[in-house]
Amino acid sequence: MWNIAFDRLADLLRYDPAQPLLFNSGLFLFLFAAFYVVYALLSGRRATAVRLLYVTAFSYYFYYKNAGGYCALLALITLVNFYAAWAMERCTARWARRFWLWTAVGFMLLQLAYFKYTNFLFEEVLPVFGGHFGEMDIFLPLGISFFTFQSMNYIVDVYRQKMRAIHNLLDFAFFVSFFPTLLSGPILRARDFLPQLRRPVVVTRLMFGTGLWYVMGGLFKKAVISDYIGENFVNRIFDNPALYTGLENLFGLYGYALKLYCDFSGYSDMAIGIALWLGIQVPANFRAPYKSDSITDFWHRWHISLSSWLRDYLYISLGGNRKGRLRMYINLFLTMLLGGLWHGASWNFVVWGSLHGVALGCHKFFRQTVGHDKHYHSRGWRRVGAVLLTFHLVCFCWLFFANSTFDASLTMLSKIFTDFQPGLIGAFLAGYPVVVALIAAGFVLHFLPSGWNDGAGRLVARLPLAAQVVLMLLVIYLVVQVRGSEVQPFIYLSF
């Protein structure tokens, strides 16, 4: 009996591609609880090195459970960037510094291109020369886009002399592999994150309670709203939009906008909360993006760590707005086009990124034409109209982001504009009462004043520990009641 139990435990802890270790799984909650007990014992200043090694080892195990042997790739990226930055700092000649910069950046771009774009490139190029393409079995390591960009901002910052190279390999390995943000961000900045590592671990009651609020909120967004409306409505629409009316397709598109937001921001919230429990500050990644009154405002609120990364390390590197107005629009378009390709090798992502690039350029042109500065925001009913217009523009772009083919996107658009059938609204509401209620509740919560959310977080942080435990158990109970037979993976794990 003991042997059987041991074998089952070993199978549970071993890498299984069908069973990744996700924040919303019971196994993660169990392992994190055990991990945290030891972490608390290592919180003293004298145990700093041991604590960093302990967290790094757990992060590598966490990645092993999600990506198996690709832990070696994570380690290789860490070593390449660590030693390239160290060598760069020792060089005085500009050409030598550039050599080490492009050695590291080139390596990261090449491995990213291999895993994400090899099949896409061969599929598009070989037929031009009369060749036949057979898709290669290339597994995309989970989180590769996130930890690659995170490593890249470090090497570029060292090159730009915005920070000194890190001379402690353990500190840098901790930064690259930090498990709360490893798979889906937020994308950390080395110059903000690394100074926190050698400080004494201090987790105040406010930090613990705030972390609990983030974790509960993220779990609710992901497992209650996103997973439920996805499994019971949205996925069905996008799997075969031709079978549904325009009304259902439109609500499916609204549902997808909410599903994607709750899924991705739910992950970010849990990552921020878990990091707070470790005494580490992680930047916010979302600020109610569907409240945006322009497409520019949207990208100040959506996936903030990526949009700011693209601005600082791509747009500015291309020349930004320093080389004339025409070049500025070209740089803006190229930045968003490459941002679309960052999400995956597909013409759908190319179109999605291009649409956002054109929209951002048009908004910038309009803002400069009417004389609005970059801090301008409309007010009153004009703001309501601007928010609605921006939301529907973003939803239109989500069509191409969510569908795997152009035909599916065109079918959805055709159904919405030619087969809407508004008379079926009553039957639709009666057929999907829980889905409609959750979509409505999700948007209502999203559009509540941000101060209300902050106030609720402070209230939870001030509650006695027993009350906080009860709240967490209630959220877990709710998740168990509404979830399907399997734990649903986070959408951005595939990017």
Give whole-number Cα distances, 2 to 6, 8, 9, in Å: 6, 10, 10
What backbone torsions phi and psi does residue 456 show, to the nearest 5 degrees? -65, -40
Single-letter residue type at 462: R
276 Cβ neighbours under 8 A, 6+ residues apart: 203, 207, 208, 210, 211, 214, 282
Provide the terminal-to-terminal Cα distance of the chain, rounded to the nearest Å.
42
- Is residue 218 within 8 A of residue 24, CB to CB? The reply is no
Per-residue tokens: 35: 């991990």
Answer whether the bond into residue 464 is a cis peptide, omega within 30°. no
The label of the residue with tokens 């397709």 reads: 249
Query: Is 448 in a helix, a strand, or coil?
Result: coil
Which of 250, 259, 255, 261 has its CA nearest to residue 436? 255
Burial 389-421 (b: 16+ CB within 10 A, else e): ebbebbbebbbbbbbeeeebbebbbebbeeeee
Give whole-number Cα distances, 267 to 118, 272, 340, in Å: 28, 9, 20
Among residues 343, 363, 392, 446, the one annotated as catalytic is 343
| CA dihedral of 87, 92, 94, 96, whole degrees rounded to 10 | -40
Task: Tell me the helices (H) and strands (E) count for the chain, helix number first.
Answer: 23, 0
Is 392 designated active site? no
For the annotated catalytic residues, the residue numbers are 343
